[in-house]
Amino acid sequence: MPDGASNLSIVLIGLNHETAPVEIRERLTFGGDRELPFTLIRKIPLVTEFIFLSTCNRVEVLMTTPNPANAEMEIKKVFTESNGIPLGDFERCLYSYHEEEAVKHLFRVAASLDSMVLGEPQILGQIKDAYRQAADQKTSGVILNRLLHKTFSVAKRVRTETGICSHAVSISFAAVELARKIFADLKGKRAMLIGAGEMAELAAEHLISNGVAEIVVANRTLERAIELAQKFKGRAVSLDEVYDQLSKVDIIISSTGAPGLVIHYDNVKSVMRARKNRPLFLIDIAVPRDIDPRTNEIDNVYLYDIDDLKGIIEMNKAERQKEALRAERIVEEAVIKFKYWLQALDITPIIVSLREKAEQIRLKECRKTLSNMGSLTPEQEKAVHVLTASIVNKMLHDPITYLKGKSSREHKDIYLDFARQIFNLNGEPADTDE
């Protein structure tokens, strides 16, 4: 890769949540100006193509450059000068990856293998935004365009072929996931929030987005209940009305600050007949607990407290870790394929494969024709070969001279990529995902 006729290196420099504390990361935001880093980095002559990615967990610059060491220095200078932060403060947090390592890092980030919460889905969207911006600003070229498209397809493969995103790792998601294993479909189901805390609110949002028909909010202060109910277009009730609601709702999320139990065993037991035994899913995220743990013993009642949910999350995290190993394999594979493509941007392999392709076609056609012509003398046969070979050589002469002539040009990778496309010379084996 480094000795490709392109002489360009792929370099990724940046920092993330693991290398830099938030005090550093929050100082590298370019004052929130999304244009500024582009304007500044574009002015660095050593940077041929680049993409700038900034999220709350990472700041990274991906670039191609003929001189990695100096280009990195220039990038650091942009970081210090425009953010007003001395290099000494953050230099130790920086990592830089070159060539395959840079490609691999990008793939891993996009596949959410480098995220704080393994498998979280936002990062891919953030990379897509960063790429769109770079494409708009025309700071990405042949190599990065190709690299980013590969990145997106790797991330997609990881998501569909591994379970890295499929196990809930937050309390509210875990609760919704459980609800969907109890109730076939949350459409038409009713949920009640007892206590209007933040976590209850989050869970209610997930329930709504999964189709729950109505949210009933019960709270000690009715104002807050009304406020929250309005947000979810639901109904507010007072705490005394909770027991009437027991026979009507299907999911209860309780998170009051009450010192004792709010829902007792007998409250639930006595409504099951009126409910005709329709399942009741109780989620108790309060500490101390709001719902009598014994309610779980009642048929068709399922009670989960905060520790149960945390247990599920721990289990799911372990599951994601396992899936991450499979994801890493997909990434490795993609890195190797990308390397093939990069190598094929070199001028010599293109000429070689162009000649090989032409020769193969010539031989195949000769064989076909000769076998149809019946008996020819060896001299005649040889003459046919000489004729076809010289046609092929004359045809290829000009394109090859043209390509060789471009080999010292600055943007020769464009010509090379173009040539590969025109002659359909696939540098990478079995690339079918386009």
Catalytic residue among 56, 93, 165, 366: 56
Residue number with CB closer to another protein (64 or 295): 295
The CA-based dihedral angle spanning residues 367, 372, 378, 380, taken in that order and rounded to the nearest 10 degrees: -100
The CA distance from 242 to 222, in Å, is 13
Cβ closest to another protein, residue 315 vs residue 361:
315
Whether the upstream peptide bond of residue 288 has omega within 30° of 0, thus cis, is yes
Q: Which residues contact 234 (CB under 8 A, 6 or more apart)?
A: 214, 215, 216, 217, 228
Looking at beta carbons only, is 71 or 175 nearer to another protein?
175
Q: How far is the CB of 292 from another protein (least distance, A)?
A: 16
β-pairing, 49-54 vs 190-194, is: unpaired
* Catalytic (active site) residue 56: yes
The residues binding another protein (CB under 8 A) are: 178, 180-185, 273, 275-279, 296, 299-300, 302, 304, 308, 311-312, 315
Minimum distance from residue 242 beta carbon to another protein (Å): 22
Terminal-residue alpha carbon distance, the chain: 23
Grouping H, G, I as helix, E, B as strand and the rest as coil, residue 417 is: helix
d(C-alpha 296, C-alpha 303), whole Å: 5
Nearer to another protein, 307 or 431 (CB): 307
Kindly state the smallest distance separating residue 278's Cβ from another protein, in Å.
7
Q: The tokens 């043209």 sit on which residue?
A: 402
Burial class (CB in 10 A: 0-12, 13-18, 19+), 1: middle
Q: Cβ 302 to another protein, closest distance in Å?
A: 6
Q: C-beta of 327: minimal distance to another protein in Å? A: 17
Q: Which is nearer to another protein, 92 or 310 (CB)?
A: 310
Which positions are catalytic?
A: 56
